[in-house]
């Protein structure tokens, strides 16, 4: 397409403001902005998604394992076919976005990549489809798959039916435990946690809510969103911008590599997103021998064999071989004469992307809650969307591809593909997924909790804890004069309903010891100066270790090693830890376990939460590789909040490193004004030596918001 001079400017905070003539020009200029400000992020995502890290970055064994992971996912398959699903206008807009990127990066490759000998390859429309697939899976779809693998590992480690039923209540239908014990689990070349060391975005949680005019001071609707991702990285996943196109305008944030505004608002309607915990990852048990599998029709059929050659810098190439059928990709080797049972796993969004790009580009120009709900509902990525509009409406819509499963299968446990027909039958239409419009409560809130009651189908079988959702609803339901300031205060709320529930059981057991008195007096807030939060966390870790991580039951130790799973699904563990009786207590009473945990921490020295709960923000490529004074890394910074607070702030060890999932970007907008109030952990740019690399960190820490007018 013919190019024109770009007309975007940046404000004093480094936020780009785009002034476009039409939609195609808007997306072209957005491509220019993303290439100018976030080129390292975009290029790194593309390299990893293609499984070319060993070829272009480094040839370590860990990188080979990461490339093998992405080659198994095979997200580069069928990209051109997805482009053809776009209309002519949509293809033109996507092409314009790519043109904007290439107009910058074909002239100047980021110096960070020059250091490793990489030469920029033009950005194609297919690459944005690839990023859409990656964003869909590298959120919590992978976490769902990992907890389902944990179930298999627990069965094979000897966990009893009673242990499994308490940990995964209502999910054991179709679980053939004796068959599961025979499954050959593949050795993991690289633990899943290592993916996040390379700066890949992982959306671990999030809050969003909308408030109807009847509960606001301005008598206009209010929308709030604070996506929670791994926060200790630079740059931030999100990139903010404002735009004007004719008589339309808006402000919000997107993900570099994708055309569109994923969260934000225009003059008519606003939208915010959190992750849903929809189960979109399933596994089947295949009976295999000689490169074939026994299907449910009792016929032996040949797997398709895919061979991937992985080039490695200054080393001989590696080869990965994958066995596939119409269900998914086998997690093992089907060759050999002996019969064996192997898991075959599929993610519902593996061959998608077009609908997500359609939605990302279309929602920018939506005019009402109902229109935005219809657009968002068709996205393949699994999100919980909330909406508010200038007419005072509020709404909710879940998106994502929920498989239609046969024979009452819920999808959590692996089922024998050779005994019954458990193949997917397509996907549930968005109209049957959870949705709401103008509820009588006058507000809608989501925080990765169980939302099955809002729909005709039940897409969630392993929700996150409902503590944050209950706390937000508690605050929203207590007043009818909410405004921007009150929402900002709620963004930084550190009260833990989880701690409150534990302390109801624990307080009668507390004695006169200093640490016990600190707990008795604690107000359940994870503030930076709170010693009580530090004591509670030490006690909680010991309680977890006593009940799950030690003793004669080898199965329990698996959960201690899977730290990420515990962070995602901690309420499943809390249900057991707060129960009066449980088989996991190994014959102990609950009170005995609580007291034993108290005794184990009595010799500890406790410091304020902000002195221990802190991390360093590390650069995507050079994190930890240069002295701190060079400036690629920032910190350490203290983080308020815990795992169950609205301001989530739990830090834990994973794959030998500290990680956390926190509100990396916050915004609130009141429809009585054309403005977005926001702050972002980091800055707009990934240019280390520019002014806007970390210019917002202190504002984020201190609860200060900038205003984006449009």
- Cα(235)–Cα(41) distance, rounded to whole angstroms? 8
- Residue 19 assigned to a binding site: no
Cα-based distances in Å from 265 to 82, 268, 678: 27, 8, 12
The sign one gets for the Cα dihedral 303, 305, 306, 309 is positive
Which residue from 46, 52, 200 is spatially nearest to 110, judged by alpha carbons? 46
* Residue 650, both tokens: 């739990």
Pairing type for strands 16-20 and 239-245 reads parallel
- Residue 146 assigned to a binding site: yes
Cα-based distances in Å from 183 to 194, 197, 285, 405, 609: 25, 30, 7, 22, 44
Pairing type for strands 281-289 and 263-266 reads unpaired
Which residue from 380, 438, 367, 388 is spatially nearest to 272, judged by alpha carbons? 388
* Residue 333, both tokens: 């080797």
Name the 3-class secondary structure at 555: helix
- Cα(401)–Cα(426) distance, rounded to whole angstroms? 9
- Cα(212)–Cα(185) distance, rounded to whole angstroms? 50
DSSP structural state of residue 282 = E
Half-sphere exposure of 149 (CA within 13 A, CB side): 24
- Residue 484 assigned to a binding site: no
Cβ-based neighbour number of residue 624 at 10 Å: 12
Phi and psi at 97, nearest 5°, equal: -60, -45
The answer to whether the beta carbons of residues 121 and 55 sit under 8 Å apart is: no
Helix H, strand E, coil C: the string for 380-405 is CCCEEEEEEECCCCEEEEECCCCECC
What's the gap between Cα 441 and its chain centre? 28
Phi and psi at 314, nearest 5°, equal: 60, 25
Question: In the block, which residue shows the tokens 């895919």?
Answer: 306
- Cα(567)–Cα(588) distance, rounded to whole angstroms? 25
Which residue from 352, 363, 344 is spatially nearest to 268, judged by alpha carbons? 363
Contacts of 320 (CB under 8 A, 6+ apart): 68, 71, 72, 307, 308, 310
- Residue 282 assigned to a binding site: yes
Phi and psi at 411, nearest 5°, equal: 100, -10
Known catalytic residues? 206
Which residues define the annotated binding site? 146, 279, 281-282
Which residues define the annotated binding site for Ca(2+)? 146, 279, 281-282
């Amino acid at each position: 397409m013919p190019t024109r001079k770009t007309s975007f400017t940046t404000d004093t905070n480094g936020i780009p403001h785009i002034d476009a003539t039409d939609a195609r020009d808007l997306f072209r200029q957005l491509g220019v902005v993303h290439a100018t400000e976030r080129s390292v992020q975009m290029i790194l995502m593309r390299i990893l998604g293609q499984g070319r890290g060993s070829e272009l970055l480094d040839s370590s064994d860990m990188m080979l394992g990461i490339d093998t992971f992405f080659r198994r996912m095979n997200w580069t398959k069928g990209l051109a076919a997805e482009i053809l699903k776009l209309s002519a206008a949509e293809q033109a807009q996507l092409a314009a976005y790519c043109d904007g990127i290439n107009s910058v990066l074909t002239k100047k490759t980021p110096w960070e990549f020059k250091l490793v000998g990489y030469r920029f390859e033009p950005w194609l429309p297919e690459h944005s489809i690839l990023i859409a697939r990656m964003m869909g899976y590298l959120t919590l779809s992978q976490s769902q798959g990992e907890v389902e693998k944990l179930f298999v590992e627990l069965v094979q480690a000897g966990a009893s039916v009673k242990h499994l039923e308490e940990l995964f209540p209502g999910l054991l239908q179709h679980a053939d435990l004796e068959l599961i014990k025979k499954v050959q689990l593949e050795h993991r070349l690289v633990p899943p946690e290592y993916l996040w060391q390379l700066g890949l975005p992982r959306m671990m949680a999030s809050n969003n809510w909308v408030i109807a005019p009847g509960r606001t001071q301005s008598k206009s609707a209010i929308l709030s969103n604070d996506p929670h991702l791994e926060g200790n990285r630079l740059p931030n996943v999100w990139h903010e911008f404002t735009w004007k196109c004719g008589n339309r305008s808006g402000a919000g944030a997107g993900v570099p590599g994708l055309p569109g505004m994923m969260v934000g608002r225009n003059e008519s309607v606003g939208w915010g997103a959190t992750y849903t915990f929809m189960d979109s990852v399933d596994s089947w048990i295949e009976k295999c021998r000689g490169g074939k599998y026994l299907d449910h029709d009792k016929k032996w059929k040949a797997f398709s064999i895919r061979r991937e050659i992985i080039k490695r810098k200054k080393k001989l190439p590696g080869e990965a071989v994958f066995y596939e059928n119409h269900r998914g990709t086998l997690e093992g080797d089907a060759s050999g004469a002996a019969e064996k049972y192997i898991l075959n796993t599929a993610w519902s969004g593996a061959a998608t992307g077009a609908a997500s790009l359609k939605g990302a580009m279309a929602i920018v120009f939506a005019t009402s809650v109902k229109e935005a709900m219809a657009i968002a509902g068709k996205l393949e990525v699994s999100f919980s969307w909330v909406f508010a509009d200038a007419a005072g409406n509020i709404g909710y819509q879940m998106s994502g591809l929920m498989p239609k499963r046969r024979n009452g299968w819920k999808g959590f446990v692996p089922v024998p593909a050779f005994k019954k027909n458990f193949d997917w039958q397509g996907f549930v239409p968005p109209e049957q997924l959870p949705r709401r419009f103008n509820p009588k409560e006058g507000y809608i809130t989501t925080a990765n909790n169980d939302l099955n009651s809002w729909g005709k189908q039940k897409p969630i079988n392993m929700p996150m804890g409902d503590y944050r959702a209950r706390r937000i609803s508690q605050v929203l339901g207590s007043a009818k004069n909410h405004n921007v300031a009150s929402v900002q205060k709620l963004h930084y709320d550190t009260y833990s309903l989880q701690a409150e529930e534990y302390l109801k059981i624990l307080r009668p057991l507390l004695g006169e010891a200093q640490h016990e008195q600190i707990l008795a007096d604690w107000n359940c807030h994870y503030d930076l100066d709170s010693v009580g939060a530090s004591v509670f966390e030490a006690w909680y870790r010991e309680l977890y270790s006593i009940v799950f991580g030690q003793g004669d039951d080898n199965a329990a130790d698996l959960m201690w090693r899977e730290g990420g799973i515990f962070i995602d699904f901690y309420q499943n563990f809390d249900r057991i830890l707060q129960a009066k009786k449980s088989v996991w207590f190994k014959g102990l009473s609950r009170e005995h376990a609580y007291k034993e945990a108290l005794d184990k921490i009595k010799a500890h020295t406790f410091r304020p939460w902000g002195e221990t709960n802190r991390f360093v923000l590390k650069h995507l490529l050079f994190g930890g590789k240069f002295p701190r004074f060079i400036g690629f890394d920032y910190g350490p910074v203290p983080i308020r909040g815990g795992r169950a607070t609205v301001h989530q702030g739990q830090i834990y060890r994973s794959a030998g490193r500290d990680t956390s999932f926190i509100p990396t970007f916050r915004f609130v907008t009141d429809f009585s004004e054309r403005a977005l109030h926001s702050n972002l952990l980091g800055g707009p740019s990934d240019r280390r030596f520019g002014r806007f690399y970390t210019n917002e960190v202190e504002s984020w820490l201190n609860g200060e918001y900038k205003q984006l007018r449009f």
